[in-house]
Amino acid sequence: MPKAELVWGKKTYIMGIINLTPDSFSGDGIFSSSDPMQQALTQAEEFIRDGADILDLGAESSRPGAQPVNAEEELDRLLPVLREIKERELPALVSVDTWKAEVAEACLQAGADWINDIWGLRADARLAGVIARYKATVILMHNRSQSAAVRDLGALGSSYSGVNYADLIPDIKSDLTESIRIAKEAGIKKESIILDPGIGFGKTVAQNLALINHLDKFKDLGYPLLIGPSRKSFIGQILDLPVEEREEGTAAAVAIGIARGADIIRVHNVKMMARVAKLADAIVRN
């Protein structure tokens, strides 16, 4: 079956999160199950039935306080699942959530379509060149979070401490512009770049809310926008709810994000958020 063909502005596209980790903040890390491979494939197939256009495979948790994973272990988790998804010819684009050039190259060789870099090409100087060489799409995420700056929120989990900004939106736009420069100088084409303002990464509750509410201010950069508010701690802090009870809050963030110009939503609950996106699209894209 053919993959989804993305036409920006036509609809909101759905990216389903497949966490090939034992320690995801959202509690859905597949490597804590007895049969990770089967669970990952089942989840991938369910996501596509429920409306996912993109599958985002990640094998290193970016939750606050998570322990780093070396490239070898990351690939041990990623490649078997990626290869099986490609073998089954599932009708979705496959994104790999990594910042390491070595991991990206092996995954692109195995058929990955996108690289989702939470550090916006700033963590590994080799990564941009790898992506350019394979003519892959890259998601450039904004991220000023510091691994040591983590707040323990008790029953609500943990979050990255906020970072000081001179002016939130212009500062984030400036950082993303630098990531775009890195991408283009490496040979990545404009049409292969997607921007993610990095909700939840080094931002306070108020900053995350402002980022969603003013997402439209990023449109003048000229690139598709992805947001990933799903189940994040700012929702838990506002609603005073643990991670397993944040779907309604996620839905509100997704709906407002779409109204403000999001082109892709990165979510855990594909079925529910695809429905939210469909109705939001009927309102704002009609």
Mean pLDDT over the full length of the chain = 91
Q: How far is CA 49 from CA 90, 109, 241, 283, in A?
A: 10, 27, 29, 24
What is the torsion angle, in degrees rounded to the nearest 10, for the CA atoms of residue 223, residue 97, residue 206 and residue 177?
Answer: -40
| 268, two tokens | 């855990």
**Which H or E element spans position 286?**
none
Given a cut of 70, whether residue 160 has pLDDT beyond it is no
> Helix 36-50 to helix 71-87 angle, to the nearest 10 degrees?
50
Cite the active site residues. Answer: 232, 266
- CATH fit for domain 13-284, picks 3.20.20.20, 3.10.50.40, 3.40.50.720, 3.30.70.1230: 3.20.20.20
Distance separating alpha carbons of residues 155 and 163, to the nearest angstrom: 23
- Over residues 230-283, the pLDDT tens digits come to 999 999 999 999 999 999 999 999 999 999 999 999 999 999 999 999 999 999
| d(C-alpha 258, C-alpha 261), whole Å | 5
Domain ranges of the chain: 13-284
Q: pLDDT for 130-158, tens place per residue?
A: 999 999 999 999 999 866 455 556 666 65
State the pTM of this model.
Answer: 0.91
Q: Is 71 exposed, middle or buried (0-12, 13-18, 19+ CB in 10 A)?
A: middle
